[in-house]
Amino acid sequence: SQTIHQWPATLVQPVGSPLSLECTVEGTSNPNLYWYRQAAGRGLQLLFYSVGIGQISSEVPQNLSASRPQDRQFILSSKKLLLSDSGFYLCAWKGWSEAGLTGELFFGEGSRLTVL
Amino acid sequence: RKEVEQDPGPFNVPEGATVAFNCTYSNSASQSFFWYRQDCRKEPKLLMSVYSSGNEDGRFTAQLNRASQYISLLIRDSKLSDSATYLCVGNTGGYNKLIFGAGTRLAVHP
């Protein structure tokens, strides 16, 4: 069966410090991978998605970046964090479905970032 | 207009009640929709897929109305454990782009 892991689970970082969140998926090959952010009391905002190694689609302008160095690894980074980067970051992979339809997302347990 | 919109609630209902949530979407070309449940400070978990006209799973029924561009979630015989935020999701941004609504909060009380 497929599993998804992301870490760290919780982190507190000062403004201006770098960030690296990592996500790996097991039990599937060439998955579509996603990073979402959820600010406190808000909905999920799509940040990046990737359909393959080295292929990244960015959804919102920001000081974050994403990379996919391996088939089942997705990394979210920042060189300098802002206060507004605080939130709950969720990695997800997209399941398979019938032709023409979009599969469901399955989420990791999330990484809660507080920028001070 | 937001791509996916939901009434934020909260919906406060007694145990045993029937409650319904609606979610509207802006892109008529969207094909795939889902309902997720999210507990406080946890990741969202898939509740139901809504690929065609509707789907039923026990106490939960989801329906899709393409003409009016909305999906609904009906919960019958509410349980205390149903208290959570319910997120509507659609591929309104394209095949690979799954966009979430802001969520509807449900509180079931004794």
Query: Residue A49 — pLDDT band, cuts 50, 70, 90?
Result: very high
Inspect the interface and report whether the beta carbons of A44 and B100 lie closer than 8 Å.
yes
Cross-strand bridge partners of residue B57: B60
**3 state SS of A84:** helix
Which residues in chain B have Cβ-Cβ distances shorter than 8 Å to A34? 98
**B108 vs chain A: nearest CA distance in angstroms?**
19
DSSP codes of every residue in B54-107:
EEEETTEEEEEETTTTEEEEEE-S--GGG-EEEEEEE-TT-TT--EE---EEEE
Inspect the interface and report whether the beta carbons of A107 and B31 lie closer than 8 Å.
no
Query: Residue A101 — pLDDT band, cuts 50, 70, 90?
Result: low
Query: Residue B86 — pLDDT band, cuts 50, 70, 90?
Result: very high
Inspect the interface and report whether the beta carbons of B43 and A108 lie closer than 8 Å.
yes
Res. B98: pLDDT tops 90: no
**3 state SS of A36:** strand
Question: Is B60 at the interface with chain A, CB within 8 A?
Answer: no
pLDDT digits 0-9 by tens, B38-84: 999 999 999 998 877 788 999 999 999 989 999 999 999 999 999 99
The per-residue pLDDT for A97 is 64
Query: CA B38 → CA A27, A31, B46, B107, distances in Å?
Result: 24, 23, 9, 13
Query: Residue A43 — pLDDT band, cuts 50, 70, 90?
Result: confident
The per-residue pLDDT for B59 is 97
Which residues in chain A have Cβ-Cβ distances shorter than 8 Å to B94? none
Q: Which amino acid is at A80?
A: K
The per-residue pLDDT for A107 is 95
Of B43, B51, B103, Cβ closest to residue A110: B43
Which residues in chain A have Cβ-Cβ distances shorter than 8 Å to B95? 102
Query: CA B77 → CA B8, B41, B63, B101, B104, distances in Å?
Result: 21, 25, 18, 25, 18
Mean pLDDT for the stretch of residues A61-76? 92
Chain A residues contacting B via beta carbons under 8 Å:
32, 34, 36, 42-46, 49, 51, 57, 59, 88, 90, 94, 97-98, 100-110, 112
Query: Residue A99 — pLDDT band, cuts 50, 70, 90?
Result: low
Res. A100: pLDDT tops 60: no
The per-residue pLDDT for A59 is 86
Cross-strand bridge partners of residue B86: B37, B104
Cα–Cα distance measured from residue B38 to residue A48, given in angstroms and rounded to the nearest whole number: 21
**B110 vs chain A: nearest CA distance in angstroms?**
25
Considering only alpha carbons, which residue of chain B is nearest residue A40?
Answer: B41
Cα–Cα distance measured from residue B97 to residue A102, given in angstroms and rounded to the nearest whole number: 9
Which residues in chain B have Cβ-Cβ distances shorter than 8 Å to A46? 93, 97-100
The per-residue pLDDT for A102 is 67
Asked if residues A55 and A90 have their Cβ atoms less than 8 Å apart, the reply is: no
